[in-house]
Amino acid sequence: MLESLQSQPCQPYSRYGEDVALDSACLFCRIILGEIPADIVLRNDNVVAFNDINPQAPTHVLIVPRLHVENAGELAQISPSITADLFSAAAEIAAQRALSGHRAVFNTGADAGQSVFHAHLHLLGGRALAWPPG
């Protein structure tokens, strides 16, 4: 069930400002709604952040908008403000954890490794991070 949710693009997003901003068929929308458990590390009016289930670094947090959009570009078009909120949340979490450095990245499209089609910012830190990424 969850595997199929993760591998399929979500339904077309609802526009920001409408009541139905979340998609009941989307894994991350269901985490936001509390229907699927997650280890929540930060929550505010626009953003929810939780630990990645398959962490790639000691800190690997997913920061997601409380708005169902497929990727970062669509989010930026609909709400530059919420896009900025994701980066603010990343900085807040990095500061709380006193990370000496961190990486914040959006994967967009399957070829870039995107597997959940609800925009999310990966916050990675707590170890040396190679560049260029794989």
Catalytic amino acids? Answer: 120
Per-position x/- string for 97-116, each x denoting binding to ligand 5GP as judged by CB under 6 A, each - no binding: ----------x-----xxxx
Give the C-alpha separation, 45 to 29, whole Å: 14
Tell the smallest beta-carbon distance from residue 41 to ligand 5GP (Å): 11
Residue 13 backbone phi and psi in degrees, to 5 = -70, 155
- Give, in degrees to the nearest 5, the angle at Cα 104 between 75 and 53: 90
Residues 9-68 that bind Zn ion (CB under 5 A): 23, 26, 28-29, 68
**CB of 34: closest distance to ligand 5GP in angstroms?**
13
115: three-class secondary structure by DSSP? coil
Whether 120 and 61 have beta carbons less than 8 Å apart is answered as no
Sign of the Cα torsion 23, 28, 29, 34 reads: positive
Q: Which residues contact 108 (CB under 8 A, 6 or more apart)?
A: 71, 72, 73, 114
Nearer to Zn ion, 28 or 50 (CB): 28
Q: Is 70 in the site for ligand 5GP (CB under 6 A)?
A: no
Q: Binding residues for ligand 5GP, per CB under 6 A?
A: 2, 6, 27, 38, 50-54, 62, 107, 113-116
The residue ranges that bind Zn ion (CB under 5 A) are: 23, 26, 28-29, 68, 118
